[in-house]
Structure 1
Amino acid sequence: MRAHVELIHENDYIFHAGELPFGEGRILERRLSTDEEDGSSSLSLHATADWGRSAGIAHADTEFYVVEGSLIYGGRELGAGGYIQVPKGVPMDWIKIREGSRILHWREYGDAGFDPLTSVTETDATGDVTVVDATTMEWTEATSVGPLTPLYIKLLHRDPKTGFYTRLIRAKKGWTDHRLAHHPCYEEFYTLGGRMAYNFGDIDEGTYCFRPAGVKHGHFIAETDIDWIIRSDGELTNWYTTSEWVKWGGHPENYDEHNHAHQPVISTLPVRSRSRGEWSGDGM
């Protein structure tokens, strides 16, 4: 299980050497969130020189999304908005990331292990590799519950068996929802551009969240048009809470119960990075 991360800004995190076995070149990574039980990770890659790796088989479901710069996959070059998904155990073609590029990289249900191949035809394993240029896709209006202005989506990949999906979502300036929502699946996002006021803190470009299933969240106001790339490990259903309350308290023996700085907080606080500021606990 990954920790509840809400919110961090990637610039608050340090760089590590990129954990991409059998690659050549120079690439760094920021570890947005990791699962130390199975190796699942969400990473922000920064190529400080050209970096590349030959064909092979990854030990995890593998995804790449180009934020800035370009990536070449099997001879096809993808700029910002380029996306690749390779299922676990399925051969992936050679890949090259250009110097100066920023790439989001996810490994799911496995670690960084990688078995090189001389070519993708060396194995009998089969499966569908998804390669998408999101800039060529149209935004589709998403269904909503309640009298809200719509969100817009570009579906990049969906697993037909599990419902696991990766998609782009856009909220137009002024979009708002003050209900609290929770989901039967996890929800993860990285902010590609724009700004939103939110109960956990302000969301802007580079802001990241990993929210386990069942965690309530809400009070959104889009201050500009805002875009995210969002992932969930199942069908995302919004369960809403209104007129919320939490039974929480006791007799304060030696502190001021009316002073917010003195009040105890629920122990399951999320991981937050310094630039996101303090959080009042609103929305829980």
Structure 2
Amino acid sequence: MAKPELEFFDHDLNIGWRQVEGAQKGIIEKILSLDPETGSYTRLLKFPPGMLTNELLVHDFWEEVYILKGSLTDLNKEETYIEGMYACRPPGMKHGPYNIPNGCMTLEIRTYEK
């Protein structure tokens, strides 16, 4: 099985926001498409204003992130990323923790290799 075929639709009317499992309270997601076999998915991710995350993140999947609104600062790298910036992270790449003073919404694509 793969991600579903989806023609344009209004995700605001059809998909609700939910708390990200295992994440700090207030970090919410909206899964847009999911491959149940691999776990690969595309989602919107939202951080509230004033959020300070506490984890250094390292994943076992490819992660592509596009900042749609707001900004976030990687506290280890001492770099701020703003609206319109993009990242493509291979498995094992370290990132975070983050300071998100004004909130942030990203489009994220996770891809697990077989």
Give the TM-score taking structure 1 as reference length.
0.35
Separation (CA, whole Å) in 2 of partners of 1:180 and 1:128: 32
| SS in structure 2 of the partner of residue 209 of structure 1 | strand
Identity over the aligned pairs, expressed in percent?
28
User: Which whole-Å deviations, capped at 9, do the CAs of 1:172-208 have from their partners, x for residues lacking one?
Assistant: 0111123211011111100000121114421211011
Instruction: Report the equivalent of 2:90.
Output: 212
Instruction: Report the equivalent of 1:153.
Output: 29
Whether the aligned pair in 1 keeps the contact of 2:19 and 2:26 (CA below 8 Å) is yes
Distance 1:168 1:128, change over 3 A: closer
Instruction: Report the equivalent of 2:102.
Output: 224
Distance 1:149 1:128, change over 3 A: closer
Whether the aligned pair in 2 keeps the contact of 1:149 and 1:175 (CA below 8 Å) is no
How many residue pairs are counted as aligned between the two chains? 108
Unaligned runs of 5+ in 2: none
Distance 1:143 1:150, change over 3 A: farther
Distance 1:185 1:225, change over 3 A: same
Aligned amino acid, residue 204 of structure 1: I
User: Which whole-Å deviations, capped at 9, do the CAs of 1:139-184 have from their partners, x for residues lacking one?
Assistant: 1111125xx3331111100112211100000000111123211011
Separation (CA, whole Å) in 1 of partners of 2:4 and 2:57: 33
Unaligned runs of 5+ in 1: 1-86, 88-126, 235-284
Aligned amino acid, residue 141 of structure 1: Q
| SS in structure 2 of the partner of residue 180 of structure 1 | coil
| SS in structure 1 of the partner of residue 92 of structure 2 | coil
The RMSD of aligned alpha carbons is 2.1
Separation (CA, whole Å) in 1 of partners of 2:6 and 2:48: 28
Instruction: Report the equivalent of 1:133.
Output: 10
1:171-250 to 2 correspondences below 5 Å:
171-198=47-74, 199-200=76-77, 201-234=79-112
Give the TM-score taking structure 2 as reference length.
0.83
